[in-house]
């Protein structure tokens, strides 16, 4: 049964196997880093004394567990998982499906497998560690993490499928991650009294039990404790998996019926209808359709929230230190930097792959009588509306933290984002027809751009920012804001010309290769989905 599921997955990937060279290069680079880390762990463990191993090995095992469980959440990538909608119609035993689901948790912990392998090899080269106990202890600890990760993923998938809970949960996770950075940047240092290492000296913890069992210290009690935790994780994983089998994600995302129109709904309706006051059909209709669909798309809403939450986590602690830091260059251009970062995030699920959420419904754009250029323009205008909305939200949030951008900085950010958007939208229109990819709007952890285009983004993104960077270089070289705005204005004129040329190229390519584009957008994943 497991072999049949894996065979179906390989068959579904056969047609899309071309052009994965950038993904291979990125994977080799990423896992090459972790090979170096694993070698460092091997050298450290093999040279450590018995006392050092008893102190630091439980901490290392705790780090492995935290990474295995938390990293998929922080990276918004849950790894591979079974697509239950494509498997529930077949008479497959739930136990077999659960086995496959647990094995797929290895996709989120390959790095930790390397680290554990390095630690086991180091223990075999350490004279203070005898016997073969490290092997069963580490295998049992891996099983514990796999089962726990399976249950955690099933629980999070259900929570992230519920309306309003998704954004709130992600926002809270990001805020918790931001708290240590804020404390460090503001100079606040909580004092830990007492010897904190005694917290790890209890075999009741699974990481301590795994470390002590591997070292041969109280091995029987440690193995029993670790086995108990593994059984508990297995019960948790299987229970959450069964609940996910019975969970209806579509029903959870449905809008409940209400009597009358709430003030929030009225404000949203006014926002959707706003383009019709300035634009004419069919462009106004396309813009309104995009605003409505993107605002209701879970994946896009998650990225939008990340723009003014995750971006602040990265950059805000850098300027919340002493007063001298508030007058720094980063503090002066803080709003611009965060808005450009938010523009990067939104591009993955909008203009880099503008037909992604339409999927097979993109056929209407080729069959309808309106020019295809109107479709690209409407999607670009809708993307700009959300980009500037993100900018105003960021300006309000930064003001709450005492970083008031001021009118001049707001104007500069408006112009910089507009010029950057011209170049990114021009390149995005071309990439949308050259590398189209259908996106599932319900999967909040799915990437936006095609895997064939991920490597090109690394090259195209700096090029799209180069004209704006030249404007800042002109301001620094001539010590004049006039030089900055002159170069920025010239970059805007060149960007408008590039956008016009790219629009004609994208329309010609879409018309010529419409069958291939519709096929790529309609192409469904196999029984195993990768997030």
Q: For 94-132, what is each residue's pLDDT tens digit?
A: 777 788 788 877 777 788 888 889 888 888 888 777 778
Q: How many other CB atoms are there within 10 angstroms of residue 116's CB atom? A: 24
Q: Is the peptide bond before 282 cis (omega within 30 degrees of 0)?
A: yes
- Cβ proximity of 361 and 436 under 8 Å: no
- State the DSSP H helix or E strand holding residue 113, giving kind and residue range, or none if neither: helix 110-124
Instruction: Calculate the average pLDDT of the chain.
Output: 75
Shortest CA distance to 309 belongs to which of 403, 173, 194? Answer: 173
Assess contact for 495 and 422: CB atoms under 8 A.
Answer: yes
Q: Evaluate whether 344 touches 387 at the Cβ level (below 8 Å).
A: no
Q: How far apart are CA 149 and CA 385, in angstroms?
A: 38
Query: Is 70 exceeded by the pLDDT of residue 255?
Result: no
Whether this model's pTM surpasses 0.75: no
Written as six digits, the tokens of 357 are 């959420």
What number of residues does the chain have? 531
Per residue in 120-130, pLDDT tens?
A: 888 888 877 77
Q: What is the pLDDT of residue 192?
A: 47
Q: Do 42 and 122 contact (CB within 8 A), yes or no?
A: yes
Closest CA to 299 of 253, 232, 257: 253
For residues 480-509, give the mean pLDDT: 89
CA distance 144 to 62: 12
- Residue 232: CB atoms within 10 A of its CB come to 15
Question: What is the three-state SS of 210-234?
Answer: HHHHHHCCCHHHHHHHHHHHHHHHH
> What is the spatial distance between Cα 94 and Cα 332, in angstroms, rounded to a whole number?
57
The 10s digit of each residue's pLDDT in 46-71 is: 888 888 888 888 888 888 888 888 77
CA atoms within 13 A on the CB side of 356: 28
Per-residue pLDDT tens digits for 149-180: 888 888 877 777 666 666 676 666 666 666 66
Distance of CA 396 to the CA centre of its chain: 24
């Amino acid at each position: 049964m497991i072999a049949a599921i894996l065979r179906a997955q390989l068959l579904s990937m056969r047609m899309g196997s071309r052009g994965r060279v950038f993904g291979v290069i990125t994977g080799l680079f990423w896992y090459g880093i972790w090979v170096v880390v694993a070698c460092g762990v091997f050298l450290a463990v093999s040279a450590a004394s018995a006392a050092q191993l008893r102190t630091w090995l439980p901490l290392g095992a705790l780090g492995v567990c935290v990474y295995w469980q938390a990293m998929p959440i922080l990276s918004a990538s849950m790894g591979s998982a079974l697509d239950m909608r494509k498997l529930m119609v077949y008479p497959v035993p739930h136990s077999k499906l659960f086995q496959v689901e647990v094995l797929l948790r290895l996709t989120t912990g390959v790095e930790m497998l390397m680290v554990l392998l390095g630690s086991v090899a180091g223990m075999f080269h350490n004279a203070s560690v005898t016997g073969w106990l490290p092997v069963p202890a580490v295998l049992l600890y891996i099983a514990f993490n796999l089962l726990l990760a399976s249950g955690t993923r099933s629980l999070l998938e259900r929570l992230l499928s519920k309306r309003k809970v998704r954004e709130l949960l992600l926002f809270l996770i990001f805020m918790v991650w931001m708290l240590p950075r804020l404390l460090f940047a503001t100079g606040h240092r909580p004092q830990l009294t007492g010897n904190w290492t005694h917290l790890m000296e209890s075999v009741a913890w699974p990481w301590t039990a795994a470390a002590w069992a591997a070292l041969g210290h109280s091995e029987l009690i440690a193995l029993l404790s670790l086995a108990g935790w593994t059984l508990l994780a297995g019960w948790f994983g299987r229970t959450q998996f069964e609940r996910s089998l019975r969970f209806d994600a579509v029903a959870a995302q449905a809008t409940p019926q209400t009597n009358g129109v709430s003030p929030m709904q009225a404000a949203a309706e006014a926002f959707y209808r706003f383009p019709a006051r300035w634009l004419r059909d069919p462009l106004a209709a396309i813009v309104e359709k995009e605003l409505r669909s993107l605002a209701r798309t879970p994946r896009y809403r998650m990225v939008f929230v990340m723009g003014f939450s995750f971006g602040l986590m990265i950059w805000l602690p850098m300027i919340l230190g002493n007063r001298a830091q508030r007058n720094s260059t980063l503090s002066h251009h803080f709003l611009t930097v965060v808005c450009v970062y938010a523009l990067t995030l939104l591009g993955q699920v909008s203009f880099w792959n503008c037909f992604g959420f339409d999927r097979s419904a993109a056929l209407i754009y080729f069959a309808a009588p309106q020019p295809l250029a109107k479709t690209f323009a409407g999607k670009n205008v809708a993307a700009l509306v959300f980009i500037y909305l993100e900018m105003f939200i960021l300006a309000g949030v930064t003001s709450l933290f005492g970083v008031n951008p001021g009118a001049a900085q707001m104007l500069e950010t408006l112009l910089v984002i507009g010029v950057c958007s011209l170049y990114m939208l021009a390149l995005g229109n071309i990439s949308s027809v050259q590398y189209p990819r259908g996106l599932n709007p319900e999967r909040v952890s799915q990437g936006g751009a095609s895997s064939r285009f991920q490597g090109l983004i690394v090259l195209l993104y700096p090029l799209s920012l180069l004209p704006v960077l030249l404007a800042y270089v002109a301001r620094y070289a001539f010590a004049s804001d006039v030089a900055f705005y002159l170069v920025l204005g010239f970059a805007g004129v060149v960007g408008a010309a590039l956008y016009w040329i790219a629009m004609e190229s994208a329309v010609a390519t879409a018309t010529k290769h419409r069958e291939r584009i519709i096929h790529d957008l309609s192409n469904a994943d196999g029984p195993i989905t990768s997030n």
